[in-house]
Amino acid sequence: MNMQHQQPTSERKGERGTILAMAALGMLALLLAVGLGVDVSRFYLAKTELDDEARDNSSSSHRDDNDQHERAKHNQCSGNPAELPAR
């Protein structure tokens, strides 16, 4: 077998450099996909942290309301006239 380099023919002259262009486009697509993945994960993390904070604030606020209501009921039962807070 004769393994010689062939000269580019006139048919392939227009295709020179396509590998470089395809590699550049592939790298750009990969970079964009990684960037999108990082952005989406950061948004998800921020949403989760905000949800947790809101849940913590809501449960502590609800707990405070229940404590206040129980104290008012206790005062009323022990003879101290106190209004029950609105729920």
pLDDT digits (tens, 9 = 90+) for 20-57: 999 999 999 999 999 999 999 999 999 999 999 998 88
In-domain check, residue 72 = yes
Domain that holds residue 63: 18-77
Query: Whole-model pTM?
Result: 0.48
In-domain check, residue 8 = no
For 63, the token pair is 């707990």
In-domain check, residue 4 = no
pLDDT digits (tens, 9 = 90+) for 55-66: 888 887 666 666
Q: What's the structural domain count of the chain?
A: 1
In-domain check, residue 40 = yes
In-domain check, residue 7 = no
For 44, the token pair is 């998800």
In-domain check, residue 29 = yes
